[in-house]
Every structure is written in C-alpha cells, then in structure tokens.
Amino acid sequence: MAKLNLTRRDIIRGVSITVGLTNAGACDDIVRTAPEVAVDPVLVEYFLNFSEQATGFSLDDLESTDQATVYFATVRDALGVDRLGEFLHAYHNDGLDAVLGSPRTGPIARNVIKLWYTAMWERLPREWQSAYGRTSNDTTFIVSAAAYKTGLLWRAIGVNPPGANAPGYGTWSNPPART
C-alpha cells in the first residue's frame, strides 16, 4: 500500500476546490441543522486525537472553534455509530498513515480533515459506497454558517472567511501583514 504524504498545502489545494464547488452550488444540501450531541467519551477522545494529528492543529485550536462536538456528531450521523467506531479504533490501533492509506478508512479520514478545514461533509465516493455500503445521511452539506466561519482553512491561510467577517472600515487601504 502506498504511503500518503499529505501536506497542509495539499489539503488547502483540495479544500479550495471543495469550497469552489460549494459556492457553485454543487452540494446536495446547502446547510443542515447541527446534529444531536454524541455521548461516547472514548470515541470522542479518539476523534479529537485523530483530528489533532490529521489537521496539524493543536487540541486547543480545535476546541477553540466550538465545533468539536458538532463535527463528531456530524461524522457519526453520516457514517453511523458502528462505522465511526471501526474508523476511530483503526486509527487508535494502527495510526494515521495506516488509516489514510487504507481503501476502507482513507476516504473517511480525508472527509474528516476536509470537515475541519471547510465545515463541509463531502459524500463518500461512489466506489467506496459500492464496496462498503451507503448510509442515508452520507450526502454533501455544509454543517452550519457558524462552522464555516471557524473552519481551519481560514487560519491556515491567514484570512477572514469570505462573506463572514468584515475586516473593518478602511482596512483595505493598509498593505497586508507579512508573515
């Protein structure tokens, strides 16, 4: 099995395509109501550990988005509790590279990464659905307007989310900050 070496640049490149599709109206649903809160603390811990390692952001950064519980519930509802548990246990037991490289768990892992960066759950590929089954909640959708504003993409590239946060009157006249 080939090892995947994803960088933040690769993720941002993929995310920008996803955001473009979202803006073009290529989603099954535009916005969904946030699902109910999850209760299994072990799976939540595994989810946060996976998210921290896979996104490259610290646990404090992830929790500061106020989306951790919502994203866990989103993934749970899209996959089902059993499939989510299998995915998170595979990560816990085998590590990030193994999960990303697996045909069964790789698409899920990439979707969770995209979720954190863009606040969008993307329907799993048809090939994956044919091989492993489809759930009725596995559709492409943006979790919420609040989640969109706190997506990691905006922190990663150092900008405000378009259409969400005004930079302030007259800030256009100042040159961009150099980082």
Tens digits of residue pLDDT in 94-146 = 999 999 999 999 999 999 999 999 999 999 999 999 999 998 889 999 999 89
- Residue 26 scores a pLDDT above 90: no
User: pLDDT band at 61, cuts 50/70/90?
Assistant: very high
The C-alpha atoms of residue 100 and residue 146 are separated, in whole angstroms, by: 28
- Residue 67 scores a pLDDT above 90: yes
DSSP-assigned letters across all residues of 100-141: HH-TTTHHHHHHHHHHHHHSEEPPPPHHHHHHH---TT---E
Give the residue, 60 or 167, on which the prediction is more confident. 60
The pLDDT, as a whole number, for residue 166 is 67
In this prediction, residues 5-23 reach a mean pLDDT of: 53
